[in-house]
Amino acid sequence: MNYGKALRDEIAHPRTTPLIGIYDMYSASIAAGHYGGFFVSGFGFAASHYGLPDIGFIAWPDMVNFAERLRLAFPRHHMLVDIDDGYVDPEVACHVVQRLERAGASGVILEDQRRPRRCGHADGKQVLPLDAYLEKLNMVLASRTDLLVVARTDATEPDDILRRAAALAETDADVVLVDGVRSVDWIRRIRTVIGDKPLLFNQIAGGKSPRLSLTELGDLGVDVAIYSTPCLFAAHSAIDTALAELGFADGRLPDARDGGGIGVRESTALLEKNISRNHGVRSTVSV
């Protein structure tokens, strides 16, 4: 299957395509029942795989291995992978892109940050000289076959944002992302300078960007919306609440029978779907 083409075709539809940020196989298993596309978030992966903030700790083999496992379990979902700055070196970036394409990724996001990098909605971001980033980006574009490539800038100065967005739109990148956009007016300004190039918008709870619906984003000319951390933050809240309630109940588990919550039966049924998508295995849940 040409996963890059499939995502391009989806983005070409006259509405905003949502891609949901997942952080591990279990969160992806739940998200797969609600949405047709994943965003493999660097924030979520750094948090779940290492227990560390999104400031450059990710090792590319770990990300590639995760993408391989995702594709095996979800053969028909779109899968956009955050590769940060391409792991610093342009040659490494090209190698990772080729590995991800062979693993079945639909696309990647390559940013123009310099080290030490930061989450796109954090303060203190620094960007590479534009020429240096464009050289890396063009090498990545030449190394892919079908993979969709999102060119991302983390510029924060107004003139530099527009200059870089326009320059990215002139490349062969499929989509442009300006991360940390602070207002609807700025979405409109970026939409104007990139012309007909597809535009991606990143939403993260508590981030710098406005909270907008898919309908509102569609009206603004946004083609793709990534939701970086809804699963991670929901899990944080739910786990914290569940463990607090377990303490209040003196260690007595809640009753998960008869629709009273998630128990071993429901969890096993969810996970068995990850086998049946590829092999047609019938459910064997009998707990």
The count of C-alpha atoms lying within 13 angstroms of the C-alpha of 164, restricted to the half-sphere facing its C-beta, is 27
Tokens linked to 202: 């990143």
Cα distances from 248 to residues 93, 253, 256, in angstroms, run 49, 11, 17
pLDDT confidence of residue 120: 59
Q: What is the pLDDT along the chain (287 residues), one digit of tens a residue?
A: 799 999 999 999 999 999 999 999 999 999 999 999 999 999 999 999 999 999 989 999 999 999 999 999 999 999 999 999 999 999 999 999 999 999 999 999 999 988 778 765 767 678 999 999 999 999 999 999 999 999 999 999 999 999 999 999 999 999 999 998 989 999 999 999 999 999 999 999 988 889 999 999 999 999 999 999 999 999 999 999 999 999 999 999 988 876 668 888 888 889 999 887 776 544 333 33
- Secondary element (H or E) of residue 250: none
Question: How far apart (Å, rounded) are the C-alpha atoms in residues 115 and 135?
Answer: 17
The pair of three-digit structure tokens given for residue 264, joined into one six-digit string: 């071993």
* DSSP-based three-state secondary structure for 161: helix
Cα–chain-centroid distance for residue 268?
26
pLDDT value, residue 9? 97
The answer to whether 86 touches 99, Cβ cutoff 8 Å, is: no
Please give the pLDDT value at position 190. Answer: 97
Per-residue pLDDT, 255: 87
Q: Give start and end residues of each alpha helix (H) in 25-74.
A: 25-31, 42-45, 60-73
Three-class secondary structure of residue 19 per DSSP: strand
222: left (phi over 0), alpha (psi -120 to 50) or beta: beta
DSSP codes of every residue in 80-95: EEE-TTTSSSHHHHHH
What was the pLDDT predicted at 280?
A: 56
Gap between the Cα atoms of 201 and 217, Å rounded: 8
Any idea which residue has 């227990």 for tokens? 51
Question: Cβ(278)–Cβ(72) under 8 Å?
Answer: yes
DSSP string, 172-240: S-SEEEETT---HHHHHHHHHHTTTS-EEEEE-TTSSS----HHHHHHTT--EEEE-SHHHHHHHHHHH
Q: What is the pLDDT of residues 252-283, one digit of tens each?
A: 998 887 666 888 888 888 999 988 777 654 43
Q: What is the DSSP string of 92-111?
A: HHHHHHHHHHHHT--EEEEE
Supply the angle between the helices 130-143 and 158-169 in degrees, to the nearest 10.
30
Distance from C-alpha of 120 to C-alpha of 128, rounded to nearest angstrom: 14
Judge whether 58 and 261 are in contact, CB under 8 Å: no
Q: Are 98 and 140 in contact (CB under 8 A)?
A: no
CA 211 to chain centre: 17
Distance CA 18, CA 35 (A): 8
Residue entry with tokens 């940050």: 113
Q: Cα separation of 25 and 88, whole Å? A: 27
